[in-house]
Amino acid sequence: METPASLGYRLAAEWEPQEAVWLSWPHRLATWPGHFEPIPEVFADVARRIAATGQPVKIVAAGPPLAEARQMLGDVDGVALVELPTNDSWLRDSGPVFLSPQPGREALPAAAVAFGYNAWGGKYPPWDDDAALGGRIAASLGMRVFSGPLVLEGGAIDTDGAGTLLANRLCVVDERRNLGRSADEIAAQLGDSLAIERVIWTVGDLAGDDTDGHIDQLARFVAPGRVLAARQPDPLDPNHGSLAENLAILTAARDATGKPLEVVPVDLPRRFCRHGVQLPASSLNFLVINAAVLVPVFGDPADEPALRTIEGCFPGRSIEPVDCRDLVWGRGAVHCITRDQPRWPPG
């Protein structure tokens, strides 16, 4: 049976050359209960920042949300609106997983995988439009669309672009998403779909995270063999124990080449709360684009050290702090609302 990997496709690292960044315009009030009013401007700010670097931005929406996006961003150079219906705004999870060619296979047609999507294990109906969104976006670009064999959100995986994948068992080896499938079976399917040779499974999640532990909050590749890993030094914080366990797992792990990882801890804000509810505030939910890195900040002392660490990982890219104190009320940040599209061909 032909698979993306057997045909010569792979999953690229986020720091590789990109064609565009996609967003899904916010409109579901219940995603930010009682705090929706500032959210469209947060999305608009992210879109403007990306477009200002010269990288195209594509925004999907339909009906009144499309009209609002047009009103706020219709005259911004580099921003294009794409009319497609959506249920929610977390395009990292519902959007296509764009593919890149393996070395020597640059003549292949552009392609993407549309994995299954069920709103984080059936938590937030309806999700029918978002379940179709990945395939619709890829089709709108004239891409070949592969149907993914798993229910898999984009925020649940992170790669070095060289065959190694980070993922969290809690949100992938999960009966609500992939009933009856073992970690080994899922790893094999990720290999077929994305040319992954080794999956490093983490554990745990952040307090207030309704994704069941998306990896883009916990650990991120910044280069082959190098990982930034969330740490919570406060032993009284509920995140302390699980993040310490992840650090131990990553420190003991080896990548697809058999080499141990270089693991760099990044401290998270301590017990970041609104109205007494702890929220999953993580500076690791950053977005890498061609000329910059957009990094969540939360008005916390942990912001500046995190910014310096991330800056040191991406020489030549500007570091753009993005205030996510409103956005995180929806349990996500910059990476969660965006989907990077690799350049095709990559050169």
Active site residues: 336
SS3 189: helix
64-81 core/surface letters (b: 16 or more CB in 10 A; e: else): ebbebbeebbeeeebbeb
Q: Are 73 and 42 in contact (CB under 8 A)?
A: no
Q: Is the peptide bond before 345 cis (omega within 30 degrees of 0)?
A: yes
C-alpha 281/C-alpha 299 separation (Å) is 11
C-alpha distances out from residue 136 to 71, 86, 129, 140, 145, Å:
24, 11, 10, 6, 9
Name 114's bridge partners: 147
311-333 core/surface letters (b: 16 or more CB in 10 A; e: else): eebbeebebbbbebbbbbbbbbb
C-alpha distances out from residue 322 to 48, 139, 286, 307, Å:
12, 31, 9, 11
